[in-house]
Amino acid sequence: MYKSFFKPLFDFILSFLGIIILSPFFLIFTPIVAIAMKGNPFFVQKRPGKNGKIFKLIKYRTMTNAKDKDGNLLPDEKRMTGFGKKLRSLSIDELPELFNIFLGQMSIVGPRPQLVKDMVFFDDSVILRQSVRPGLTGSAQVNGRNNILWEERFAFDIEYVNSVKFLTDIKIIFKTVGKVLKSEDVSTEGMETSEDYGDYLLRKGDITENEYNEKVGFSKEIILNKKTRSEYCKSVALKIKNLKAVQKVKIKQNKKIEDTKMSENNNE
């Protein structure tokens, strides 16, 4: 009941109140970001949401659009500004995501919305994180955020997805406040931001360079081509549905086994 009804209701109400309360801040701070970033104050990017459905994530911009002579964006560390680092350390850049929550694209608590470029590398053990709406904060964010391995992040995500509870959400929200005040785990150690999942797999040697290039190319096709995006999202939704069905069967089987063992022990 909480997961399907009260959680979405709380997200809608709390995001609406947050937008109203912070509206003076948005009105004053947005022009400041525009001046500091020398242009558009917002960073808008297509991200995978519930069941893989693509939505436009909105954040405050923390990096410039500086490019090399070939027109390619420079590495993050060369585009990140001092102002942007401060925004990230205080998580102020995330505040516009309240509008994503209000529109029903995100939740206050849930697995963080990763890149489309990340999702194409998800296997069956990871894709289930997409069975709920992505969150402004989540279990992985209060347990290491960007300073833990991808496998650990996903383990926290799946654990949360398999047991969405009101008290868990409250605990995560309070822990998030503490993390933000301490500015902990904002970036991966030794990097300005977080390493992409595909880059991590390639660095570890879990995939070949050809596999990497093929999937990164496919992720670009998903973003740019509406038909490809629609077909891919449908396939993700179907895969999640099938995986959850298998998961339910396994839970029933395990329960039956436990009940049988308990019955046998009682008979003894």
Assign 188 a pLDDT band (cuts: 50, 70, 90): low
- Measured CA to CA in angstroms, residue 69 lies from 26, 39, 63, 75, 110 at distances of 35, 20, 18, 13, 40
Locus of tokens 């998030």: 176
What are the DSSP calls for 89-147, one per residue? Answer: HTTGGGTTHHHHHHTTS-EEESS----HHHHTT--HHHHGGGGS--EEE-TGGGTTGGG
In which domain, by residue range, is 254 found? 2-267
Please state whether the predicted TM-score (pTM) of the whole model is above 0.85.
yes
- Structural domain tally of the chain? 1
Each residue's pLDDT tens digit, 216-251: 999 999 999 999 999 999 999 999 999 999 988 988
Each residue's pLDDT tens digit, 156-177: 999 999 999 999 999 999 999 9
Assign 254 a pLDDT band (cuts: 50, 70, 90): confident
